[in-house]
Structure 1
């Protein structure tokens, strides 16, 4: 159902500046044609281009998967970002356009689960809103726990109310002890077979994932999506053999495989540069991988036959890639 290689130029139909430095953008086809369908949990790759900034970044869809007339995303203006969100906030205007790819879904919803517990931290709530819309349509049991710094910094309240989801959303604010999330209590009340979904800052996600595991929830029922990650790409130097290209490149201590390959004329598509989007996943023919990403599953890592070349490295002196 997803169309991962579809590239579209979409019109910015509306920009709504939400609390918490979040811009909610509604995107339509310039001719009003229906947009490619998506499933709850999907995201768009957005091309951010202005002056010296030329980046691709991923933004989760928060609109209703049943809606084909427009997409909606939320963009946090993060002063600690690498320029993408700051640039979008500065250049995006109603009537302008954005180049996008997708939608793609690496965070699918298990629609058959007896119960779904959704945990969104800050801007990480965006895919949860789409999931909540879909679960409401299906008549499924779910609750969305939405955690923010304060009530004044809480975006999407109007969108939640307009979608008829207010009764299924519990708001938690760091500055209000009465509303803080009692995670262990929530997890203790989960029914057998409940599925957990979490997206937000890395510390928040690590907390939810760790507590869910400690409460006995199996890994295959804990679903996560990182929208950014702290990743250390440094390490000992090593060689990479690009088997099909017939080239060998050296990857230095502060270098990445993707950059080393690009200097040798071997293009690998890279978008997030943090090992969260999966765009740069490459097959590995030989060698031991030092995985640094947040995209591959534990099973895929154990197989040892693919890696994210934007951040992961070799554990030994040599890797052979099928490229």
Structure 2
């Protein structure tokens, strides 16, 4: 898609939202709550951003970007360069964090910029008349994006528990939230790694179909041990992955055409079928069952536990 940036809005300290419209002036492809779009940025960067507006809106897409201190180029560029009228190439909406709309109760646990997908989810649940709870942690009220809008909705079908750590407030007791969740409730978490790890541990005994999480940073380092060869089944080429290099580095250096975006094993763009060998899975996209099956891998961050890996490339 080609999108035009229509306006920027300061949502909180260090957080700016970007409203896009279709370059041709028409309606945008529909999306469901929890979806994201991939924006193509200069230098070959591709960044995924959750859609924060109501799914009923076809005239615009809204994303929010935190000016991260450890930015790898994406957020720093977004906060300094684009202005209204800037043209972006983008993917159609993709949803790897879908809302289960029939749940009797949806419980959201958000940290920082992880609030973004839940803004769209709450809007959808409000439209459906479904119940929800939001547990939201931010450094301060000045850093709590969308807090005022979400609080305005809470008197109808939902509740908001905002914890600001700079004010001396304790973070939400994730284990207690999960333990006290009524039967049938679906639980969602998006935030920093420590929050997601605590959520995963607390939900270990729940049916996996009721547990949903989305990461915006990798939970483990990419595999750079090297010392194995990768055979490309379609071309018959064999490449050596040297120590200190990722599998994706090796493929790109050899001119292999492969799609990738986050480079952290989160988005699933670089998912590649495995024909032979035992991958060293380092991603947060595949399920444990999919990893055990060894039929696919994320080549951006995963490596090989076997001396030879054969990929469908």
Q: With structure 1 as the length reference, what TM-score do the two structures score?
A: 0.91
Q: How is 1:1-323 mapped onto 2 (pairs within 5 angstroms)?
A: 8-49=1-42, 53-160=43-150, 164-165=153-154, 168-178=159-169, 180-213=171-204, 216-229=205-218, 230-323=220-313
Partner SS state of residue 103, structure 1:
coil
1:110-160 superposed Cα distances (whole Å, 9 cap, x missing partner): 112222111111111101111111111111121121111111211123443
**How many residues were matched structurally?**
310
Whole-angstrom distance in 2 between the partners of 1:133 and 1:322: 41
SS at match of 1:187: helix
Distance 2:167 2:178 in 1: 21
- Provide the rounded CA distance (Å) in 2 between the counterparts of 1:197 and 1:267: 35
CA contact (8 A) 1:171 1:179 kept: no
The answer (yes or no) to whether the contact 1:196–1:223 under 8 Å persists in 2 is yes
Deviations 1:291-322 (A, max 9, x none): 00011111111111100000101101010001
The CA deviation at 1:178 is 4.4
- Deviations along 1:48-83, whole A, 9 cap, x unmatched? 11xxx3300100001101110101100111120211
TM-score (norm 2): 0.94
Q: Equivalents in 1 of 2:6, 2:149: separation in Å?
A: 16
Partners of 2:203 and 2:274 lie apart in 1 by 33
Partner of 1:5: none
Distance 1:68 1:27 in 2: 11
Q: Once superposed, what is the RMSD of the aligned Cα atoms?
A: 1.7
Partners of 2:118 and 2:240 in 1: CA distance: 42
In the TM superposition, residue 179 of structure 1 has moved relative to its aligned partner by 5.9
